[in-house]
């Protein structure tokens, strides 16, 4: 007798093979049979007219803290995700000494825009090492977790404050190697690092102080463990620097027999040669035998923000970041100080922010004047005889800062250009940032957007190719041997969806975070059921009580 029998669906097994009709049988958390199989089952799922595929895998998330109170990593499951990779961009919540917690929380708040309540109101810190963090998270998982360990926290553990001041000594590098070994032994799937990020005080994160010898030594440990992953954030704002970083990753890959991945890779019509140049360099390095996987998002980013809190929108404007990071009273004082405001506006150049801010749309907010909602800042600024940056500040001040602005479709300006890049055999679909920037934009909808825009509309990938990209291909890149395919003996991670309707729903604000914090989410569209290790975790538009998620590597 089977535990679950999924009947009548079109099976897209994750290998790239042509879809075929049949059934999928599950027993003991594993795929028991696929195809022409019948029999009694404790639960039958009718998949007639639907696609049955392996659960999707997201290789770039920041659910590190959310997993401590939400083992389903909402809204990941409802979008078909059954395995997530947290710990990217040099940051993880372990190994982390108690004395360094506030420092790392500040980095998460600066880099990933996580609210402070997420770290203070939903759980108690009860660990320092990676094994302790794994134990704390594993108690109530509904989704599989394949975590990276952050280079910045490894550095901080070994070097303390000096981690953000200098290069490491040979003894300190040896200690970092031992610490990385302990993390890998406790279930980490690799190491993440960053060459661009800063902390809440505007200082480079610890990983940026590492010399090549340090990174090389840590990659040697990844090689010892059968070739674990190195993830990095390159200097994505300058293509020449990105290409140089690709070459460095290739050298590390060849030296130590490890896979490497970098994210994000953005495409822009303003610099149309940048992404193709980076991809061409990746092709050259693969031809040498290196493994350097670029990660690209499927979806454009719609950033919502107000001056009530810092935002990713201002990441390249240090003065704005410093002002918005102040407590509310001090922030208001700065925004009403003529000299400070003059400098903030000047930072945007002679056009006063027309290029960067003119296209912003007033989205709303509890106090937003209705006469402005839906209109561009450029239009409003002209009406007020102001520069756009000054108009943004004044409109916000006039309404208690509670005015939301929308910067639409950032990063992906042309689906015609993006489609062939996503279909490229060396392109890794990732960089969703799930769990981060939750008050700026909805970080989910990637999988639905892949199928709606690039399979159904553009035809850049077939259904089978798209499924393969986010299942077996991702599992192979990351060494997740038990995931990504509907084959007998594999873990029964399964998603049932309607390929005619799957997409990303409307973005909406919800208040379900600790402390009733607000975040933006996108509802799932076209996902019927999601099974994690053989148990139904999402079905009929609702989360189930299953706690079948595991740490996997």
CATH number of the domain bearing residue 12 = 2.30.40.10
Supply the pLDDT for residue 444: 62
**CA distance linking residue 215 with residue 176, whole number of Å:** 10
Are 179 and 134 part of one and the same domain?
yes
Handedness of CA 517, 547, 477, 498 (dihedral sign): negative
Report the CATH number at residue 75: 3.20.20.140
Domain boundary among the residues 389, 409, 429 is at 409
* Domain-embedded: residue 196: yes
Supply the pLDDT for residue 299: 75
pLDDT of 341-365, one tens digit each?
A: 999 999 999 998 998 888 888 876 5
C-beta of residue 246 within 8 angstroms of C-beta of residue 253: no
Domain boundary among the residues 356, 387, 409 is at 409
Are 323 and 432 part of one and the same domain?
no
Are 172 and 279 part of one and the same domain?
yes
**CA distance linking residue 432 with residue 313, whole number of Å:** 17
| DSSP codes of every residue in 154-181 | HHHHHHGGGGGTSPPPHHHHHHHHHHHH
Are 110 and 17 part of one and the same domain?
no
* Domain-embedded: residue 46: yes
C-beta of residue 250 within 8 angstroms of C-beta of residue 256: no
* Domain-embedded: residue 552: no
Handedness of CA 353, 356, 362, 367 (dihedral sign): negative
**SS3 letters for 239-269?**
HHHHHHHHHHHHHHHHHHCCCEEECCCCCCC
* Domain-embedded: residue 550: no
Residue ranges making up the domain that contains 360:
304-409
Supply the pLDDT for residue 510: 66
The CA radius of gyration of the chain, in Å to the nearest whole number, is 23
Are 152 and 213 part of one and the same domain?
yes
Are 401 and 420 part of one and the same domain?
no
The reply to whether omega before 95 is within 30° of 0 (cis) is yes
Domain boundary among the residues 376, 409, 442 is at 409
Supply the pLDDT for residue 121: 75
C-beta of residue 335 within 8 angstroms of C-beta of residue 324: no
* Domain-embedded: residue 313: yes
Are 30 and 101 part of one and the same domain?
no
Are 62 and 176 part of one and the same domain?
yes
* Domain-embedded: residue 503: no
Q: Is 521 helix (H, G, I), strand (E, B) or coil?
A: strand
Supply the pLDDT for residue 405: 85
Run of H or E including 103: helix 101-112
Are 153 and 228 part of one and the same domain?
yes
Supply the pLDDT for residue 106: 87
Q: Is 45 helix (H, G, I), strand (E, B) or coil?
A: strand
Are 273 and 156 part of one and the same domain?
yes
How many structural domains is the chain composed of?
A: 3
The neighbour count for residue 121, using CB atoms within 10 Å, is 14
Residues of the chain with pLDDT under 70: 113, 270, 301-302, 312, 315, 364-368, 408-414, 431, 435-445, 507-521
**CA distance linking residue 89 with residue 150, whole number of Å:** 7
Kindly state the greatest CA–CA separation across the chain. Answer: 77
Q: Is 87 helix (H, G, I), strand (E, B) or coil?
A: coil
Are 118 and 209 part of one and the same domain?
yes
* Domain-embedded: residue 548: no
Are 220 and 88 part of one and the same domain?
yes
* Domain-embedded: residue 132: yes
């Amino acid at each position: 007798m089977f535990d679950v029998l999924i009947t009548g669906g079109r099976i897209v097994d994750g290998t790239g093979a042509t879809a075929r009709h049949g059934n999928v049988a599950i027993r003991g958390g594993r795929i028991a049979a696929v195809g022409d199989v019948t029999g009694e089952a404790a639960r039958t799922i009718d998949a007639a007219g639907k696609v049955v595929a392996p659960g999707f895998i997201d290789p770039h998330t920041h659910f590190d803290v959310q997993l401590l109170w939400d083992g389903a990593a909402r809204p990941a499951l409802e979008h078909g995700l059954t395995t997530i990779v947290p710990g990217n961009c040099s940051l993880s919540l372990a190994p982390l000494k108690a004395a360094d917690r506030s420092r790392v929380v500040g980095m998460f708040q600066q880099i990933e825009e996580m609210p402070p309540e997420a770290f203070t109101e939903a759980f108690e810190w009860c660990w320092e090492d990676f094994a302790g963090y794994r134990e704390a998270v594993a108690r109530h998982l509904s989704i599989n977790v394949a975590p990276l360990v952050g280079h910045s926290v490894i550095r901080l553990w070994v070097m303390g404050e000096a981690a953000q001041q200098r290069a490491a000594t040979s003894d300190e590098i040896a200690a970092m190697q031992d610490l990385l070994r302990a993390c890998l032994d406790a279930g980490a799937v690799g190491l993440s690092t960053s060459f661009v990020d800063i902390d809440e005080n505007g200082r480079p994160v610890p990983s940026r102080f590492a010399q090549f010898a340090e990174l090389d030594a840590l990659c040697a440990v990844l090689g010892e463990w059968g070739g674990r992953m190195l993830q990095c954030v390159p200097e994505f704002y300058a293509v020449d620097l990105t290409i140089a970083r690709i070459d460095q990753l290739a050298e590390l890959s060849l030296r130590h027999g490890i896979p490497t991945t970098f994210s994000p890779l953005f495409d822009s019509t303003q610099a149309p040669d940048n992404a193709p140049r980076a991809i061409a360099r990746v092709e050259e390095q693969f031809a040498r035998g290196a493994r350097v996987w670029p990660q690209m998002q499927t979806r454009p980013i719609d950033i919502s923000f107000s001056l009530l809190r810092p935002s990713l929108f201002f990441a390249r404007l240090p003065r704005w970041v410093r002002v918005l990071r102040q407590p509310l009273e001090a922030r208001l004082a700065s925004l009403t100080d003529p000299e400070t405001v003059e400098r903030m506006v000047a930072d945007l150049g002679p056009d006063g922010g027309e290029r960067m801010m003119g296209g912003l749309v007033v989205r709303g907010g509890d106090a937003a004047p209705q006469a402005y909602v839906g209109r561009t800042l450029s239009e409003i600024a002209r009406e007020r005889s102001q520069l756009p940056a000054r108009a943004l500040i004044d409109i916000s001040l006039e309404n208690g800062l509670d005015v939301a602005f929308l910067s639409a479709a950032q990063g992906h300006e042309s689906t015609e250009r993006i489609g062939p890049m996503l279909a490229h055999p060396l392109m890794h679909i990732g960089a969703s940032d799930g769990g981060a920037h939750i008050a700026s934009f909805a970080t989910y909808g990637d999988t639905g957007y892949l199928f709606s825009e690039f399979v159904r509309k553009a035809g850049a990938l077939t259904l089978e190719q798209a499924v393969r990209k986010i299942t077996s291909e991702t599992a192979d890149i990351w060494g997740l041997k038990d995931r990504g395919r509907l084959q007998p003996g594999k873990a029964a991670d399964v998603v049932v969806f309607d390929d005619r309707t799957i997409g990303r729903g409307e973005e909406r604000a919800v208040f379900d975070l600790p402390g009733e914090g607000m975040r933006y989410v996108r509802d799932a569209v076209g996902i019927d059921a999601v099974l994690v290790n053989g148990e139904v975790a999402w079905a009929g538009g609702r989360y189930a009580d299953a706690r079948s998620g595991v740490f996997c590597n």
